[in-house]
Amino acid sequence: MASLASHRCLLFSLVIFSIWVSLSTASRDLSETSMKERHEKWMAQHGRVYKDAAEKLHRFKIFKANVEYIEAFNSAGAHKYKLGANQFADLTNEEFRASYNGFRPSKPNVLKAAVRSNFKYENFTAAPASMDWRTKGAVTPIKNQGQCGCCWAFSAVASTEGIHKLTTGKLISLSEQELVDCDTSGEDQGCNGGLMDNAFKFMIKNKGLTTEARYPYTATDGTCSSKKASASAATITGYEDVPANDESSLLKAVANQPVSVAIDAGGSDFQLYSSGVFTGECGTELDHGVTAVGLYSSGASNGTKYWLVKNSWGASWGEKGYIRMERDVDAEEGLCGIAMQASYPTA
């Protein structure tokens, strides 16, 4: 009896085991299949083509890991922002950091603090509860820097487009490529990085910048065409640095015009950001130049104050190319260092 009982018991557990094995294999196959389908769909959506099957498999594995991270993050709740499988979903965070961004932080921060520049909005007190420079017609459509680290050019151009609109009434899309190709005698290095302040210096010296239409973006370092660059469409008279590490100063500036800001955009949450008010993870190693084109102080988003930031990674990243970044955080540098090296052109 005892042996029969134990036999039956063994048999029973074997049956259970084999059912479990077949079920779990099936569900694994299913999720692997649906993940492969998602990858195919994502590839079509983003026009991604891989050179061979090995590369495709390699990219699929990264895509899968990212999607699993995104889903775990989003279903965990309690986050003010969501992640999504955007155009960077088949890149590891290391690859992403290596090929996008392109802000080269100026080392002499100390020098910067000592030589304090003018800040024309120093005594401004009438900051509105919210401001969105897009609604004032001072922001051109989202652009895409592609795989060229010239965020600095996009950031400087966006704040220049803003001040040009505010002083002349005309919104003109200006040329990043002119900066990439022609602003090469100083520290700026086209697709290898640069600084917004240097771009402003170039615009002052060069007596302006031409239009995007006349000198279109190619996402590569090219030879400066003085013919294209000769027809200036917008000029600036100077630029000013916002006093560093002070979000209340940044508020005064952004309330008055779009402002170029440097941030640490290297984190995987920034890479895969899709919507909501971004609250981190990020550090303060400034590696990306973007443009603060608005602010929000109260009301929606459960009272989370934020900066409205225009990025240059196309409209499929974030909120149609924008990110809302938490404002007035505990760190004086601001979230992702947004208050560390802000500046704006004057006209």
**Contact residues: ligand NAG, CB under 6 A:** 80, 120, 122-123, 276, 301-302
Torsion of CA 172, 178, 180, 186, to 10 degrees: -110
Q: For the chain, how big is the Rg over CA atoms in Å?
A: 25
To ligand NAG, the closest distance from the beta carbon of 249 in angstroms equals 12
Catalytic residue among 151, 191, 282, 336: 151
To ligand NAG, the closest distance from the beta carbon of 70 in angstroms equals 17
State the Cα–Cα distance between residues 260 and 335, nearest whole angstrom: 15
To ligand NAG, the closest distance from the beta carbon of 302 in angstroms equals 4
Note if 58 is an active site residue: no
Closer Cβ to ligand NAG, 178 or 240, answer by number: 240
Closer Cβ to ligand NAG, 46 or 120, answer by number: 120
State the Cα–Cα distance between residues 317 and 322, nearest whole angstrom: 8
Catalytic residue among 39, 66, 164, 288: 288
To ligand NAG, the closest distance from the beta carbon of 328 in angstroms equals 16
On the 0-12 / 13-18 / 19+ scale of CB atoms within 10 A, 280 is middle
Note if 282 is an active site residue: no
Among residues 317, 316, 312, the alpha carbon closest in space to that of 142 is found at: 312
CB atoms within 10 A of CB 158: 30
Contacts of 22 by beta carbon, 8 Å cutoff, 6+ apart: none
C-alpha distance from residue 147 to each of 58, 61, 171, 237 (Å): 20, 22, 27, 31
CA atoms within 13 A on the CB side of 278: 30
On the 0-12 / 13-18 / 19+ scale of CB atoms within 10 A, 228 is middle
State the Cα–Cα distance between residues 178 and 228, nearest whole angstrom: 8
User: Residue 251 in contact with residue 263, Cβ under 8 Å?
Assistant: no
To ligand NAG, the closest distance from the beta carbon of 32 in angstroms equals 32
To ligand NAG, the closest distance from the beta carbon of 129 in angstroms equals 18
Catalytic residue among 150, 245, 311, 336: 311
Q: Please state the φ and ψ torsions of residue 67, each to the nearest 5 degrees.
A: -65, -40
To ligand NAG, the closest distance from the beta carbon of 324 in angstroms equals 10
Closer Cβ to ligand NAG, 42 or 119, answer by number: 119
Write the Ramachandran bin of 137: left for phi over 0, alpha for psi from -120 to 50, otherwise beta. Answer: left
Closer Cβ to ligand NAG, 3 or 123, answer by number: 123
Closer Cβ to ligand NAG, 117 or 167, answer by number: 117
State the Cα–Cα distance between residues 292 and 327, nearest whole angstrom: 11
Note if 288 is an active site residue: yes
Closer Cβ to ligand NAG, 193 or 276, answer by number: 276
Closer Cβ to ligand NAG, 194 or 276, answer by number: 276
* Residues with catalytic roles: 151, 288, 311
